[in-house]
Structure 1
Amino acid sequence: MAEPADVLAETFRTEWPRLVSAAMRLLGDLQAAEDVVQDVLVSALDRWPLSGVPANPAAWLMTACRNRALNRIRDEGRARDRTAGLAALLDVAAPEEPYAPAIPDDRLRLMFICCHPVLPLDAQAALTLRMVGGLSTVDIARAWHVPESTMAQRIVRAKRALAQAKVPFEEPSGEELSGRLPGVLDVIYLIFNEGYLAARGDQLTRPPLAAEAHRLARLLTDLLPAQPQAWALRALIAFHRSRDGARLDGAGDLVTLEHQDRGRWDRVLIGEGQHALARAHGDAPLVLQARLAEYHASAPSFADTDWAGIIACYDALLAGEPSAVLELNRAVAVAMADGPDRALPLLDALVAEPALARTHRVWSVRADLLRRLGEDRRAAADYDRALALVDNDVERRYLTDARSTLRST
């Protein structure tokens, strides 16, 4: 039988959006809602080990959140002013018509609510990832390549800005949905990134996060079928997830794209990606990234990959918004297309980039290029730098094994 703390952790992770949504609907304040939900977590941690796990843990948490939120309203002397608005929730009077939200999914609805235009786009995404996406502040900071303290301050400022602007807890609809879509796309994309390649821990991936991002992307295309970037995100995720079955060997070790068994790729997901990409017209960044993924997914072998097409996509992305991470990925494509000697100067120019200072990736890529060129001593030094920064155990094993193959170190 699972321990109460384990059941609580899993239930809390999956139910968090609904709990925050229910508390916010009552309180009308994001920070207050988060405080209520956190209080309920503490209460459950105290009670469940003694009284046992409830028959329906999710329902227990929801009831506790609603009751605590209502008690908070009463304690603050605001019950009289909110009686009319709370009538339906308190079963005082039945509404004339049942509430039918425009966004049927709790998590997606809360994402649209949190991605409020009063906040800058990066603050929208950071706050929503923390409140709804299931990512820790550490995870979010890594996604932006900034210190954890910087990201924590950004999230606090976002909460404060919403409170000061007295932003109501209201579900957007119509044109508001399209206006908030960029922030929601960023959130789902970053959730998927963490699910596809975990920044830390003993697993290469976090499958529940990747699957949830894919589910949300599918819901987005149902909700906004005329939005090409929603289709592009769905295509991007489908193409990447199609390789899930080939990314690890039987021992749980990393298998790079070059050596994956393409017969194990999921053709149904590749087909979904191609169908979605066909509806993602234009040259927006997500569309270009989906095309990049399609080049890989459609290549019959690694040697037959259209590296020139991939480089052209990176050039178009960089023309729109310079990015050290994109430059790094482009350098890998140049190495595959023209040889490691042509790509090495590109890597040399990136090692001092602040955006890459906290990641092992630039060092691991340069180490691999140096290994291919036979410069084992320099490759070993770069593998050591990468190993000092990597936090994912599967990637660490891969880098350690790669370093051990060098002849003279």
Structure 2
Amino acid sequence: MEPGHDAVAETVRVEGTRILATLIRTVGDVQLAEDAVQEATLAALGAWPVTGVPPEPRAWMTVTARRKAIDIIRRERARADKERDSTRLIELGRTDIVPAAVVQDDLLRLIFTCCHPALSPPTRVALALRTLCGLSPTQIAGVMLTTEAATAKRLTRARQKIAAARIPYRVPPEAELPERLPAVCGVVHSLYTSGHAPVEGQTAYDVDVCAEAIRLAELLHELLPEQQMPTAVLALLLLTEARRPARLDADGDVVTLDQQDRSRWDNAAIARGIDLLNDSLLRSNQQADAYQLQAAIAAEHARAATYDTTDWTEILRLYELLVSVAPSPAADLGLAVAAAEAKDTTAGLALLSELTPSPRWHAVRAELLARDHRYDEAVGELTKALEGPSTDAERRHRERRLELFRAAAD
């Protein structure tokens, strides 16, 4: 790929959501804004390899996207509401760069628009993953366990509903926040998860996506400091991200939790995450939500000086609460692992037997079987795990484990 093309890809990856959010505020139309940003990207791919990368790539892309939006509006002038179009054209004709503070507000507006109660919960997540994360319909389908065609239809209907219902592009008033916050927090958490634990791909995690999710969580916490849920989400993300530097070795291969160099963990992030968790719990009237429970689990791991000193009994208790409050495949797997650690492998395997198999289910079961020296069965389970989607790093890790189990079985 040419250097100019690399710069375009980097700009879209890092700044694309900000450019889109600002443009949506101006034009009031998600689809039009997405089309304009896409056309600006194509223009950059044609221009930058020839003219060189501009000094301020985001500014170039923003101004170009505005111009492309003007072109699109003029092409469609035959439709109604010309007065609104004239107002939008005046706004789009500006060449000044939007201040950073305004861009931050635009992102919050975009989050709340994606999470409007008029949209169904799956649609909110799909739309946010598309607009906030820039994920393709194929990637979203993988995250949401549906088909690409169904995802594309869902996104189209969502954009049409936003336009037809004139869903406002704004942060809602305080009275509406309790209804909207769970969806917004869910989207921010999904965004982080898509970067921290991708279903497949070359990289084990996307640093920029994780950083963007944490930044959005910081904005939500700053906007709503008295609300327990955004505080808990930020705590969870910080406590999880604090361990990221030790997740891979120098060759990019997976390092499991029991083998990680804990001196590489970010102690400042851990300390702040625990403080935020405690602050959130004080506001919850002793009724923890799913984010507080997940953050509490992450805090238990972070507090342990070594893997052997981890308080697995407390982690098991927290997972039992989590499964009762917000059951999910990930929580169910975590409960099985915690039971195996706090009790024995028989307890973990018993819980696994009650769950629906998946690639990660097979991988977890293989590890527990290997602990009981049932290597032939472990080989079979890990072989099944390798048949499903995974990141390159995860696949390499499973292949190495498979070789060890085969050798032990022989």
Match of 1:319 among 311, 320, 324: 324
User: 1:73–1:79: 8 Å Cα contact kept in structure 2?
Assistant: no
Matched, 1:292 2:291: no
Cα displacement (A) at 1:333: 0.5
In structure 2, the residue corresponding to 1:199 is in which secondary structure?
coil
Which residue of the partner structure matches residue 228 of structure 1? 228
Cα displacement (A) at 1:6: 0.9
CA distance in structure 2 between the aligned counterparts of 1:175 and 1:16, rounded to whole angstroms: 31
Which residue of the partner structure matches residue 395 of structure 2? 396
CA distance in structure 1 between the aligned counterparts of 2:102 and 2:116, rounded to whole angstroms: 17
CA distance in structure 1 between the aligned counterparts of 2:137 and 2:88, rounded to whole angstroms: 34
* Amino acid paired to 2:330: V
Cα displacement (A) at 1:348: 2.3
In structure 2, the residue corresponding to 1:405 is in which secondary structure?
helix
Matched, 1:384 2:389: no
User: 2:112–2:170: 8 Å Cα contact kept in structure 1?
Assistant: no
User: 1:243–1:264: 8 Å Cα contact kept in structure 2?
Assistant: yes
The alignment's TM-score, normalised by the length of structure 2, stands at 0.89
Q: Deviations over 1:358-377 (max 9, x none)?
A: xx200000000111111111
Taking the TM superposition and a 5 Å limit, the aligned residue runs for 1:81-92 are: 81-84=84-87, 87=90, 90=93
CA distance in structure 1 between the aligned counterparts of 2:123 and 2:15, rounded to whole angstroms: 23
Cα displacement (A) at 1:261: 2.2
Which residue of the partner structure matches residue 65 of structure 2? 65
Taking the TM superposition and a 5 Å limit, the aligned residue runs for 1:163-202 are: 163-202=163-202
Q: Deviations over 1:206-253 (max 9, x none)?
A: 111112212221222111101111111111111111212222223332
In structure 2, the residue corresponding to 1:133 is in which secondary structure?
coil
CA distance in structure 2 between the aligned counterparts of 1:153 and 1:310, rounded to whole angstroms: 41
Cα displacement (A) at 1:101: 7.6
* Amino acid paired to 2:373: G
Relative distance call for 1:26 and 1:104 in structure 2 (3 A) is closer
> Unaligned 5+ residue runs, structure 1?
92-97
CA distance in structure 1 between the aligned counterparts of 2:181 and 2:55, rounded to whole angstroms: 38
User: 2:21–2:103: 8 Å Cα contact kept in structure 1?
Assistant: no
> Unaligned 5+ residue runs, structure 2?
none
* Amino acid paired to 2:192: F
Which residue of the partner structure matches residue 137 of structure 1? 137
CA distance in structure 1 between the aligned counterparts of 2:42 and 2:323, rounded to whole angstroms: 47
Decide which moves more: 134-143 or 201-210. 134-143
Q: Deviations over 1:329-362 (max 9, x none)?
A: 1001101111112211222232xx2xx54xx200
Decide which moves more: 23-32 or 6-15. 23-32
User: 2:141–2:151: 8 Å Cα contact kept in structure 1?
Assistant: yes
Aligned length: 399
In structure 1, the residue corresponding to 2:397 is in which secondary structure?
helix
CA distance in structure 2 between the aligned counterparts of 1:196 and 1:334, rounded to whole angstroms: 24
Which residue of the partner structure matches residue 95 of structure 1? none
CA distance in structure 2 between the aligned counterparts of 1:84 and 1:204, rounded to whole angstroms: 45
Matched, 1:301 2:306: yes
Decide which moves more: 42-51 or 301-310. 42-51
User: 1:125–1:184: 8 Å Cα contact kept in structure 2?
Assistant: no
Taking the TM superposition and a 5 Å limit, the aligned residue runs for 1:95-106 are: 104-106=104-106
Which residue of the partner structure matches residue 334 of structure 1? 339
CA distance in structure 2 between the aligned counterparts of 1:246 and 1:399, rounded to whole angstroms: 18
Decide which moves more: 72-81 or 243-252. 72-81
Percent of paired sites with the same residue: 37
Which residue of the partner structure matches residue 19 of structure 2? 19
User: 1:257–1:302: 8 Å Cα contact kept in structure 2?
Assistant: yes
Cα displacement (A) at 1:79: 4.6
The alignment's TM-score, normalised by the length of structure 1, stands at 0.89
Decide which moves more: 36-45 or 365-374. 36-45
User: 1:17–1:106: 8 Å Cα contact kept in structure 2?
Assistant: no
